[in-house]
Amino acid sequence: MYNLEQYKLDEIIDANSLQDIQDKYSKLTNLSTITVDRQGVPVIKPSNFSKYCNLIRSSKEGYRRCITCDAMGGLQSSKLKKPIIYRCHAGLTDFSAPIIVNNIHLGSMLCGQVSIKEKDTRNSIDLQKLSEELCLPVDKLESALKEINTVSYEKVKNSADFMYMFANLIAKMGVANITHSKLLQETKEKMKFQQLARDIQIKSIQSQINPHFLFNTLNTMASMSLLENSNSTVELIYALSDILRYSLKNSDKMVNISVEINNIKKYLFIQSVRFKDKLKYKIDVPKNLLSCKIPAMTLQPIVENAVIHGIEPKKESGKIYINSKIKFGNCIVFKIQDNGMGIEADKLKSLKNKINSTNRDDSNIGMGIQIVQDRIKYYFGAQYGIDIKSSPDSGTIVYIKIPLVY
């Protein structure tokens, strides 16, 4: 296997995607944000930086101190493996959310450049000393410092916790993509190791969530200002946080069906807010099945496909219906149905061939369904898995068959 330490953060996460995430997070929270590597050096452009911090960084010595401060904040948070809140060298409050995958510190996302409302420390900053040491006009420092935002400690803490979950999930997605590509290459070169590669591949990609969903959710939340104390925005943030937490904690576990369904409800709630009246959904799972086990993240990729490929392209409103029942006495069959665009016959045939094939290609077509199919067969055997029925303009039905396990 490859050594993760040989990769830089911007090699693991696409720089444009990372910039998009950072910009939207900064807009959502109204906090200055920057993403740095292990040494504290920025890997993309900063977002929403304050006039005060831009002035500090305009000085060669000020920039050096900021890089050192960022590196120390990132290192300390990585050692503790959790976000930390600290006071920077220029007197403002920042927080560092470490990006850690497989116990390897890849970098950090740093936010803040604020003063804490409960303890405003701006008056204790020695601007005259800063002016002399950084060769900056003291009057400009004073003017810029007055524009610094004052926020509550609770907001800083909640923002730090959310950033930590989000940044690490995105990093895991990037590492999973690298792992997937490496395994595909090794499998082609060494066919006798195919089964081992497939087992590792399944483990490496279990924690993925479709970035399409994440980016669109951030777009939705960013357009609903937190400053307006919008209840909908708060509910969206809680729902997304719960989904991220669910993915990170349960990626390689079997969970109760009730837990999986609860996660799907949060996902569909977010999408229903995004699409407003365009998306309706109903979930009908008998109570006697809720305590049965299912691999975590089995249903979400299928539901995502229904939303993205079925409902989203429609001009009219769409519906998604999820139900389950016991069949043959020892199996559970989930039925995920949408009234979306449907799939043409040749594409459906190609999709079925792909998800039932032992060969893997580099395309993203049907990847989510393919992963679910692989995991079901990995856990339960070849007699279980997915079947798809669809036709253009008539929607799609996906059946998922798993054994009855308590």
Enter the pTM of the model. 0.61
Which has the higher per-residue pLDDT, 359 or 247?
247
Cite the residue boundaries of each domain of the chain with CATH code 3.30.450. Answer: 4-169
Residue 55: the pLDDT is 96
Residue closest to 142 by CA, chosen among 51, 267, 210, 228: 51
Residue 41: the pLDDT is 85
Which has the higher per-residue pLDDT, 138 or 211?
138
Residue 103 phi, psi dihedral angles, 5° rounding: 65, 15
Which residues, other chains included, contact 228 with Cβ-Cβ below 8 Å and sequence gap of 6+?
none
Contact call for residues 386 and 398 (beta carbons, < 8 A): yes
pLDDT category at 137 given cuts 50, 70, 90 is very high
Region of poorest pLDDT, from 24-33, 84-93, 300-309, 357-366: 357-366
Mean pLDDT of 62-73: 92
Q: Is the pLDDT of residue 370 over 60?
A: yes
The type of residue at 389 is K
Task: State pLDDT tens for residues 320-344.
Answer: 999 999 998 899 999 999 999 999 9
For 3, counting Cβ atoms within 10 Å of its Cβ (0-12 exposed, 13-18 middle, 19+ buried), the class is: exposed
Neighbour count for residue 79 (Cβ, 10 Å): 11
Which has the higher per-residue pLDDT, 86 or 190?
86
| CATH domain 4-169 topology | Beta-Lactamase (3.30.450)
SS3 for 299? coil
Q: What is the DSSP letter of 298?
A: S
The whole-angstrom distance between residue 292's C-alpha and the CA centroid of its chain comes to: 27
Which has the higher per-residue pLDDT, 60 or 22?
60
pLDDT category at 354 given cuts 50, 70, 90 is confident
Residue 268: the pLDDT is 94
Which has the higher per-residue pLDDT, 231 or 60?
60
Of the CA atoms within 13 Å of residue 188, those in its CB half-sphere come to 8
Mean pLDDT of 125-142: 94
CATH architecture of 251-403: 2-Layer Sandwich (3.30)
Residue 204: the pLDDT is 47
Q: How far apart are CA 160 and CA 394, in angstroms?
A: 45
Q: Is the pLDDT of residue 84 over 90?
A: yes
Cite the residue boundaries of each domain of the chain with CATH code 3.30.565.10. Answer: 251-403
Mean of the per-residue pLDDT values for the chain? 82
Residue 399: the pLDDT is 97
Q: How far apart are CA 203 and CA 154, in angstroms?
A: 36
Which has the higher per-residue pLDDT, 124 or 227?
124
Residue 178: the pLDDT is 57
